[in-house]
Structure 1
Amino acid sequence: MAVEGGMRCVKFLLYVLLLAFCACAVGLIAIGVAVQVVLNQTITHETTPGSLLPVVIIAVGAFLFLVAFVGCCGACKENSCLMTTFAVFLSLIMLVEVAVAIAGYVFRDKVESEFSKNFQQQMQNYLKDNNTAMVLDGLQKEFGCCGANNYTDWENITGLAKDRVPDSCCVNVTAGCGINFKKSTIHTQGCVESIGAWLRKKILLVAAAALGIAFVEVLGIIFSCCLVKSIRSGYEVM
């Protein structure tokens, strides 16, 4: 009876961990999508190490949600095969998370250089492409920035007057506010720095989430192995 009571406790804790997995999975997917949206707006559609990171984060989140579902089915049906699959997949996710963390650290400077290069390329098309203009204006308004490195980058754009910046650079955006501007009326910080700071915050959130998930995953593996052993030993855990 003591063993059966212990297994009931393990099973209950496993359910709690599975709920935590689902919450973490949704969080990872949301962060990955948010980062991917910004990367799509500021980096060209070439495949680069930096552009692949949010895709991996989304994939890990989706896979974690699927694994949690498998674990829930295994625990409900007390199926040792499903619980073993759950433990194996959970171990694989831990390895992927370690790989993503290492890749994020290694390519952190690469992502920023891609931002700077491609943002400046898109600035050259500001007056030629309305879609590009809308994207850049949206980013400058959202992040309170102007230009790639700073507001003076707009001086190098062909067709744009030297004493003018896009209206989206203004602190208080109004029609024509970028003409004959004063430094006090516009955002002087570059978008590479502003967006880079935003991305670093997101990466810190991912890192903190990964640490928390890793701890929960270890517990999940231990509890699932205990449950598998109990099921195979023929104990009634209900």
Structure 2
Amino acid sequence: MGVEGGMKCVKFLLFFFNFIFWLCGLALIVVGILVQVNLHKTFMIRDPTASGAPIVLIGIGVVIFFIAFFGCCGAWKENYCMVTTFAILISLIIIVEIAAAIAGYIFRNKISNVVQDSLTEMITNYNNSTDDFKKAVDNLQEDLKCCGVNSSADWKNYRPNGNSVPDSCCVNVTAGCGIGTMTDPAKVHQKGCQDAVEALLKKHIQWVIVAALVIAFLQIMGIVFSCLLMRGIRSGYEVM
């Protein structure tokens, strides 16, 4: 039996939302990988708990990627079982996301401890580390215009005189500019990197929240259109 415009519209809307959903899953995978790389290379954060968020992003992205593809096929072929399975899986994902959001809210203050411990480790190991490690620390301090964890005084063990910092701490970076200038605000940044790193991470988290809200909207719309299409298929519609 032929289908009137209403059910055809539902079918194509479900296909369209699944395609967008598929792209969102791909985007989550990319964002998760970028966050992981930035945390462990740019910031040299080695605390394993810091990997939780990007790993969750990558995992959810992979699941969404395949489920959305599954939903597209189910909608296009009008397969009742595939559409039903898709709706159930999306509902389960929403439940997992809600649980993850609650866990993230509960442990939101842990980011401060992770950043502080990681930056302290960076400073402690600076002199005995590889050139790549030192370059990462220097780039961090230069880009964020900061020095040490809480202040430039955190570099007191950098040189025997106890009053020197890496050149990357300098307001104007030149060779040897950090020697004997630890407490000189005209030459060395006195503000530590902890606040700057936390602010940068929180800024990125805001974009993650926006992306999560967009994906949640698509998920809900996907469930609604799936239920409508399932109802149409059960009612004997045959969508072209």
Query: TM-score range with shorter-chain normalisation?
Result: 0.7 to 0.9
Partner SS for 1:183: coil
Distance 1:197 1:9, change over 3 A: same
Distance 1:161 1:106, change over 3 A: farther
Aligned position for 2:212? 210
- Code of the aligned partner of 2:108: R
- Code of the aligned partner of 1:210: A
Distance 1:104 1:225, change over 3 A: same
Partner SS for 1:227: helix
Contact 1:29–1:57 (8 Å) recurs in 2:
yes
Aligned position for 1:127? 127
Per-residue CA shift, 1:37-95, capped at 9, x if unaligned?
A: 23324332x533x4312211121122111111111111122212221121111112111
Aligned residues: 235
Aligned position for 1:166? 166
* Alpha-carbon distance in structure 2 between the residues aligned to 1:184 and 1:9: 66
Distance 1:166 1:232, change over 3 A: same
- Code of the aligned partner of 1:125: N
Unpaired runs of 5+ in structure 1?
none
* Alpha-carbon distance in structure 2 between the residues aligned to 1:58 and 1:120: 28
Distance apart, 1:3 and its partner CA = 5.7
Contact 1:145–1:187 (8 Å) recurs in 2:
yes
- Code of the aligned partner of 2:126: Y
* More helix, by proportion: 1
Distance apart, 1:143 and its partner CA = 2.7
Percent identity of equivalent pairs: 48
Contact 2:141–2:168 (8 Å) recurs in 1:
yes
Are 2:240 and 1:231 equivalent residues in the alignment?
no
Distance 1:188 1:17, change over 3 A: farther
TM-score normalized by the length of structure 1: 0.88
Aligned position for 2:17? 17
Aligned position for 1:149? 150
Partner SS for 2:186: helix
- Code of the aligned partner of 2:33: V
Distance apart, 1:158 and its partner CA = 4.8
Distance 1:78 1:172, change over 3 A: farther
Contact 2:2–2:239 (8 Å) recurs in 1:
no
- Code of the aligned partner of 1:195: V
* Alpha-carbon distance in structure 2 between the residues aligned to 1:183 and 1:34: 34
* Alpha-carbon distance in structure 2 between the residues aligned to 1:141 and 1:29: 29
* Alpha-carbon distance in structure 1 between the residues aligned to 2:177 and 2:232: 72
Distance apart, 1:99 and its partner CA = 1.7
Contact 1:151–1:165 (8 Å) recurs in 2:
yes
Unpaired runs of 5+ in structure 2?
none
Partner SS for 1:184: coil
Distance apart, 1:21 and its partner CA = 1.1
Aligned position for 1:79? 79
Aligned position for 1:179? 179
Aligned position for 2:37? 37
Contact 1:35–1:54 (8 Å) recurs in 2:
yes
* Alpha-carbon distance in structure 1 between the residues aligned to 2:73 and 2:14: 12
* Greater than 4 Å deviation, 4+ residue runs: none
Contact 1:125–1:132 (8 Å) recurs in 2:
no
Contact 1:15–1:72 (8 Å) recurs in 2:
yes
Most deviating of 12-21 and 32-41 = 32-41
Distance apart, 1:2 and its partner CA = 9.6
Distance apart, 1:172 and its partner CA = 3.5
